[in-house]
């Protein structure tokens, strides 16, 4: 069993990002990332601080538009449209979730596709499905980059994605299909989850439920990617996979923390730099 070390790879990507930003600055371009943060959700504020710190370390200009939870949808879209026109902003990120009175899709669709570094705009979603040039969501492309680093080619593999969200599961499915994997995608209404997971050469899980995947649900030699991040009663982070009992059966497995998590912000930096290059 080998650990897929996302923390070390993310540090490598961030180091390269810093060099790329230095090179762009020599050409008179400073990559810029704007974050829209609405409300007082503690997790969202933590994520935004992590992103701001990563930008600062890399040399990317960053700005956070922090708005009260009762702000109107029109005001949010007005702010986004202002950033769409700002030549110093290369990437715009809407921190999710948004308050219940906001139409999330309308807000995401107001971001210019060229600045949609989270890959949530229908333009980028469509291009991802068609395997065309696009921005793809950071967590799924982080998973693909992690597999690449360990010379794991999904081509021809029986793969199973557990979780069908627009942010992780669906783009993950399309990225795997684009690499010619055979993809089985499961969700809350799947009748017998274990019947699907037990067949998988590559199992990718991201639903947010502690110990959802147990030892008997994984075949010997499987590659297991755990995207889930959950907090135990003792405050420690854990994934969706029963790591202690599942790991001995695997050829490769990601830990939580230190697996996919660090890759998400690393790929956000990479996407922002790509957007700046296209400026």
In the chain, how many domains are there? 2
pLDDT of res. 233: 85
pLDDT at residue number 208: 93
- For residue 236, is it within any domain? yes
Instruction: Give the residue numbers spanning the domain of 103.
Output: 28-115
Examine residue 6 and state whether it is found in any structural domain, yes or no: no
Does any domain span residue 121?
no
The answer to the question of residue 97 being in a domain is: yes
- pLDDT for the residue numbered 259: 96
Q: How many CB atoms lie within 10 A of CB 134?
A: 17
Regarding whether 243 and 171 lie in a shared domain, the answer is yes
B/e letters for 39-76, b = 16+ CB within 10 Å, e = fewer, are bebeebeebbeebbebbeebbbbbebbebeeebebeeb
* Domain match, 142 and 255 both: yes
In a domain, 123, yes or no: no
CATH code for position 172: 3.40.50.720
Q: What is residue 268's predicted lDDT score, i.e. its pLDDT?
A: 97
- Consecutive sets of 10 residues in the chain, 279 residues long: mean pLDDT of each? 97 97 97 95 88 96 95 96 97 95 96 97 97 97 98 98 96 98 97 97 97 97 96 89 97 97 96 95
| Same domain membership, residue 255 and residue 143 | yes
- Catalytic residue IDs: 51, 95, 118
Query: Based on the domain organization, do 106 and 177 belong to the same domain?
Result: no
Residue with tokens 């069908």: 164
């Amino acid at each position: 069993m080998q650990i897929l070390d996302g923390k070390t790879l993310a540090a490598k990507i961030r180091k390269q990002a810093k060099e790329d930003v230095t090179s762009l600055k020599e050409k008179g371009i400073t990559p810029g990332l704007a974050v829209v943060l609405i409300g007082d959700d503690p997790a969202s504020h933590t994520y935004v601080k992590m992103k701001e710190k990563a930008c600062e370390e890399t040399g990317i200009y960053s700005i956070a538009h922090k708005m009260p939870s009762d702000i109107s949808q029109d005001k949010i879209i007005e702010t986004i449209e202002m950033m769409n026109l700002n030549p110093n902003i290369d990437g715009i990120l809407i921190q999710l979730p948004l308050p219940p009175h906001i139409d999330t899709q309308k807000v995401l669709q107001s971001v210019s596709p060229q600045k949609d570094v989270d890959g949530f705009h229908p333009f980028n979603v469509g291009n991802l499905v068609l395997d065309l040039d696009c921005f793809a969501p950071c967590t799924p492309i982080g998973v693909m980059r992690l597999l690449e680093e360990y010379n794991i080619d999904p081509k021809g593999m029986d793969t199973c994605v557990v979780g069908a969200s627009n942010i992780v599961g669906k783009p993950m499915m399309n990225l795997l299909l684009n690499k010619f994997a055979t993809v089985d995608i499961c969700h809350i209404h799947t009748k017998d989850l274990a019947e699907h997971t037990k067949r998988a050469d590559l199992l990718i899980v991201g639903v947010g439920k502690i110990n959802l995947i147990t030892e008997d649900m994984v075949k010997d030699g499987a590659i297991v990617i755990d995207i889930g991040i959950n907090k135990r009663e003792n405050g420690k982070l854990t994934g969706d996979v029963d790591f202690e009992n599942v790991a001995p059966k695997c050829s490769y497995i990601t830990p939580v923390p230190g697996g996919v998590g660090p890759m998400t912000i690393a790929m956000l930096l990479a996407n922002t730099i790509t957007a700046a290059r296209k400026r």
